[in-house]
Amino acid sequence: DGGITQSPKYLFRKEGQNVTLSCEQNLNHDAMYWYRQDPGQGLRLIYYSQIVNDFQKGDIAEGYSVSREKKESFPLTVTSAQKNPTAFYLCASSSLGGLDYGYTFGSGTRLTVV
Amino acid sequence: EDQVTQSPEALRLQEGESSSLNCSYTVSGLRGLFWYRQDPGKGPEFLFTLYSAGEEKEKERLKATLTKKESFLHITAPKPEDSATYLCAVQAEFNNDMRFGAGTRLTVKP
């Protein structure tokens, strides 16, 4: 079955530590996105990528980094510069130009600072 | 700046009690308005895309409508399994991403 796989489902980060969240899709979608979700707030865009080896900052990119070395993969690194990283992180993908089916989302990674 | 406001924040219904969720938006040229359903601890699931004022789409007990300033998600005779958070999002004409509202948390009691 085609879809998006995010791992791990739960992640714990110590102060000063970098962590990487995985996102893999087998939908042959060109575009991929990372969103952050906090209680009572809408999804906020961190980064997005429309093509391999290219990505753009979203509204809240500070303290995060991404790479897009393969079409299928778009990992997100939460760096120690991100002061409030505890949140639910969602990866999504879509075909370029076609909005009929919106975005396809993964099941999310819940990151907690300990 | 593009903005999406959803109301109410939370809605409790009895099974079979129909109601509507509101999504007000401001965007510099609408490319599309989207509705998603999100269950606790899971990613959003796509429901509808609406492109222009006057458009309507239906799926089972859900019907989405669109005007130039807002969209409504009508829920007819809801069942407990319709309980979820419903998210609205817009994409502007010259943007490559969606802007989301905070969602409406719907609870349907049997």
Contacts of A20 (CB under 8 A, 6+ apart): A75, A76, A77, A78
Residue B77 and residue B29: Cα distance in Å, rounded?
34
Which residues in chain A are contacts of B98 at CB distance < 8 A? 45, 102-103
- Token pair recorded at residue B92: 């502007």
Q: Which residues contact A110 (CB under 8 A, 6 or more apart)?
A: A9, A10, A11, A87, A88, A89, B41
Of the residues B49, B98, B105, the best mutation for testing chain A's interface (the one with the most A CB atoms within 10 Å of its CB) is: B98
Phi (first) and psi of residue B81, to 5 degrees? -70, -10
Q: What is the mean pLDDT of chain A?
A: 94
The number of C-alpha atoms within 13 Å of A67 and in the hemisphere containing its C-beta is 7
pLDDT value at residue A1: 65
pLDDT in tens, B23-50: 999 998 999 999 999 999 999 999 999 9
Nearest CA in chain A to B44: A105
Yes or no, beta carbons of B97 and A45 under 8 Å apart: yes
pLDDT in tens, A14-52: 988 999 999 999 999 999 999 999 988 889 999 999 999
Supply the DSSP string of A10-25, one letter for each residue.
EEEE-TT--EEEEEEE
Establish how many alpha carbons lie within 13 A of residue A78's alpha carbon, considering only the half-sphere containing its beta carbon.
26
